[in-house]
C-alpha cells in the first residue's frame, strides 16, 4: 500500500465535505454521515477498548524492514473524536497480531506473529496516560513457555482464566495469572478448523 496512507496525523474525515447532516460531515453524493476515524501509521491487527475513553491497538509491519514499527498504541476518545496516539510500546521485529486486556485493566496479553507465542505487558494507570511494561524474570519465562500460533485470545469475565485458540485447531484454557493449564484440546481432541474467534 501507499505509505502516505499510514500518516499518523491524517484523519479520514479531514477533506472538505460537500454538506452537513445533523451537525455531521456528509460524504460527496449525499452518502451516510462520515464517522470519526483516525489513522495510526500501521496495519492494525488487534483492538481492545477496556474503558470508556482509552483504547489499545496492536499491529505493525512484521519482521521485514518495511519501516513500520511493531507496537501497541494507546489512544483516546475525546468527545466524539479519536485522538492521535498518546503513548506506544514497541516490540522490535516481532509483530503483535491479537490482544486481550484483563477485566482489571492491569494486564495485556498479545499473540505474536513470526515465531508465535504470547507476550504479557503490565499496565499501570497513574495520571491520564497508561504506562506499559514487559514482565521480567520468572514470570517472563513462564509466559515464553506458552507456544503456538494463536489466532484469538480472551480473558474470562472474572479474569481468572485466559483462553487461547490456535491456527491448527488447538484450544487452551489457562488459569490466570499462574498460567497453569486447565484445559488443552489437542492431538485426538484437536478441533477440525483453525480457532479464529472466541
Query: How many Cβ atoms sit within 10 Å of the Cβ of residue 95?
Result: 24
pLDDT digits (tens, 9 = 90+) for 103-146: 999 999 999 998 899 999 999 988 888 999 999 999 999 999 99
Taking alpha carbons only, the member of 119, 104, 99 closest to residue 159 is 104
Rounded-to-integer distance, Cα 42 and Cα 125, Å: 25
Q: Which pTM does this prediction carry? A: 0.77
Look at residue 187 and tell me whether its pLDDT is greater than 70.
no
Q: How deeply is 109 buried, as exposed, middle or buried, from its count of CB atoms within 10 A (0-12, 13-18, 19+)?
A: buried
pLDDT at 94: 92
Query: How many Cβ atoms sit within 10 Å of the Cβ of residue 192?
Result: 5
pLDDT digits (tens, 9 = 90+) for 152-164: 999 999 999 999 9
pLDDT at 170: 87
DSSP letter string, 102-148: -TTSSEEEEEESTT--EEEEEEE--SSS-EEEE--HHHHHHHHT--S
What percent of the chain stands above pLDDT 90? Answer: 56
Looking at the chain, the number of H-run helices and the number of E-run strands are 1, 15
pLDDT digits (tens, 9 = 90+) for 60-70: 998 776 789 99
What percent of the chain stands above pLDDT 70? Answer: 78
Amino acid at each position: 500500500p501507499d505509505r502516505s496512507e499510514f500518516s499518523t496525523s491524517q484523519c479520514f474525515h479531514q477533506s472538505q465535505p460537500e454538506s452537513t447532516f445533523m451537525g455531521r460531515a456528509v460524504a460527496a453524493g449525499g452518502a451516510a454521515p462520515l464517522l470519526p476515524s483516525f489513522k495510526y501509521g500501521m496495519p492494525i491487527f488487534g483492538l481492545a477498548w477496556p474503558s470508556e475513553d482509552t483504547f489499545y491497538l496492536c499491529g505493525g509491519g512484521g519482521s521485514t524492514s518495511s519501516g513500520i514499527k511493531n507496537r501497541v498504541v494507546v489512544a483516546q476518545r475525546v468527545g466524539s473524536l479519536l485522538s492521535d496516539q498518546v503513548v506506544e510500546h514497541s516490540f522490535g521485529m516481532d509483530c503483535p497480531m491479537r490482544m486481550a486486556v484483563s477485566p482489571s485493566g492491569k494486564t495485556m496479553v498479545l499473540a505474536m506473529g513470526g515465531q508465535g507465542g504470547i507476550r504479557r505487558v503490565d499496565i499501570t494507570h497513574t495520571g491520564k496516560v497508561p504506562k506499559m511494561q514487559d514482565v521480567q524474570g520468572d514470570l517472563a519465562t513462564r509466559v515464553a513457555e506458552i507456544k503456538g500460533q494463536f489466532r484469538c485470545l480472551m480473558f474470562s469475565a472474572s479474569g481468572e482464566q485466559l483462553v487461547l485458540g490456535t491456527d491448527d485447531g488447538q484450544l487452551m484454557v489457562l488459569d490466570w495469572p499462574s498460567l497453569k493449564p486447565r484445559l488443552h484440546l489437542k492431538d485426538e481432541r484437536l478441533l477440525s478448523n483453525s480457532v479464529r474467534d472466541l
